[in-house]
């Protein structure tokens, strides 16, 4: 074994640079979200469905916070992106599927388990497609404001709609209906449906609207804590009803972009159609071929 020559830079051991704290904060929040998702699975196996659903909602809140905090403090990293994808699969794919299975789908036996598995797998496929196409150079500029398919957190929250309604006293729907609804949400997650994301909306509040925004946020949080099943039920139904609006908005942008491209091609074709006319020689007796003029 040849000893290392510490005087030679190439022989020194590689030392990793210290990681700034700002790079750790978003990852800690993501780990907390994973803990919430795993806790939801445990609570569902113990029959504590209300707390299990609350843990999923808490994980969804953390998922919406970690990315924004990372961009705010410039703490993005490839490690954080991969960890976030893992958290989304656990929290919004595996956990909701198991909650629905332990809540009612187990009444269908293997059929209910298949519905739960399809939902979990659809969440994983949806996240894999998102990671694979996030840097697609062929996407039109307006496509940055839309998701392809229902995002995993929204899919998880809306998939639990039958549970919310049961907590409100509506009663459990038939198990086959719950399984069909679960498969429908799974299909929406892996579909090509354009869903408005709001990522490009400017997050700036006019000074005169700061206090009303504070009041609105506090009111929403208070309502969510005081009447969680009403808010989640209404929110889920409104979200599902808004999906056709996102598709229509995407198609309008697509038609406008196609019209603009067609107009640009027409202008370019008109410019290229202009031909150059060769000057006529002043000497009438010049009988050389005109291509030599």
Share of the chain above pLDDT 70, in %: 78
**Residue 194 φ then ψ, to 5°:** -75, 125
Q: Rounded to whole angstroms, what are the CA distances from 187 to 160, 182, 192?
A: 15, 9, 10
Q: pLDDT of 79-93, one tens digit each?
A: 888 888 889 999 999
The Cα 133–Cα 261 span in angstroms is 23
End-to-end CA, the chain = 82
Q: pLDDT of 42-95, one tens digit each?
A: 999 999 999 999 999 999 999 888 878 877 877 777 888 888 888 999 999 999
In this structure, the dihedral spanned by the alpha carbons of residues 172, 173, 177 and 178, taken in order and rounded to 10 degrees, is: -20
The Cα 188–Cα 195 span in angstroms is 10
Tokens for 104, please give them.
């009612």
227 CB neighbour count, 10 Å cutoff? 13
53 in Cβ contact with 99 (< 8 Å): yes
- Residue 198, phi-psi category: left (phi > 0), alpha (psi -120 to 50), beta (remainder): left
What's the pTM?
0.79
pLDDT at 248 over 60: yes
Q: pLDDT of 179-232, one tens digit each?
A: 999 999 999 999 988 888 766 555 676 777 778 888 988 998 899 889 999 999
Counting beta carbons within 10 angstroms of the beta carbon of residue 248, is it exposed (0 to 12), middle (13 to 18) or buried (19 or more)?
exposed
For the chain, the maximum distance between any two Cα atoms, rounded to a whole number of angstroms, is: 107
| Mean pLDDT of the region 255-271 | 72
pLDDT bucket at 292, cuts 50 / 70 / 90: very low
Handedness of CA 284, 288, 291, 293 (dihedral sign): negative
The two beta strands, 146-148 and 194-196, are antiparallel
More confident residue, 152 or 17: 152
More confident residue, 157 or 278: 157
pLDDT at 13 over 70: no
Tokens for 212, please give them.
């009303």
- SS percent in the chain: helix, strand, coil, step 5: 70, 0, 25
Question: Looking at residue 71, what is its pLDDT?
Answer: 79
């Amino acid at each position: 074994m040849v000893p290392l020559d510490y005087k030679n830079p190439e022989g020194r051991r590689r030392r990793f640079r210290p990681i700034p704290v700002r790079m750790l904060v978003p990852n800690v929040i993501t780990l907390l979200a994973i803990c919430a998702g795993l806790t939801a699975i445990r609570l569902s196996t113990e029959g504590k469905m209300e707390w299990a659903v609350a843990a999923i909602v808490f994980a969804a809140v953390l998922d919406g916070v970690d990315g924004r905090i990372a961009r705010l403090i410039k703490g993005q990293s490839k490690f954080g992106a991969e960890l976030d994808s893992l958290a989304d699969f656990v929290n919004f794919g595996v956990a909701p599927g198991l909650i629905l299975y332990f809540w009612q789908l187990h009444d269908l036996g293997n059929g209910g388990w298949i519905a739960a598995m399809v939902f979990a797998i659809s969440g994983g496929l949806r996240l894999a497609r998102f990671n694979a196409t996030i840097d697609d150079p062929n996407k039109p500029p307006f496509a940055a404001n839309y998701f392809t398919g229902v995002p995993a957190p929204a899919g998880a929250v809306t998939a639990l709609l039958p549970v919310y309604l049961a907590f409100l006293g509506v009663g459990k729907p038939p198990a086959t209906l719950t399984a069909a609804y679960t498969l429908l949400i799974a299909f929406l997650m892996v579909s090509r449906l354009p869903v408005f994301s709001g990522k490009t909306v400017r997050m700036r509040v006019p000074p005169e609207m700061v206090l009303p925004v504070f009041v609105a946020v506090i009111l929403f949080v208070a309502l969510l804590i005081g009447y969680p099943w009403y808010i989640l039920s209404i929110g889920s139904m409104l979200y599902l009803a808004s999906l056709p609006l996102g598709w229509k908005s995407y198609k309008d942008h697509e038609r406008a972009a196609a019209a603009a491209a067609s107009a640009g091609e027409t202008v370019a074709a008109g410019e290229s159609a202009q031909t150059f006319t060769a000057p006529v020689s002043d000497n009438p007796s010049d009988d050389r071929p005109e291509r030599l003029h």
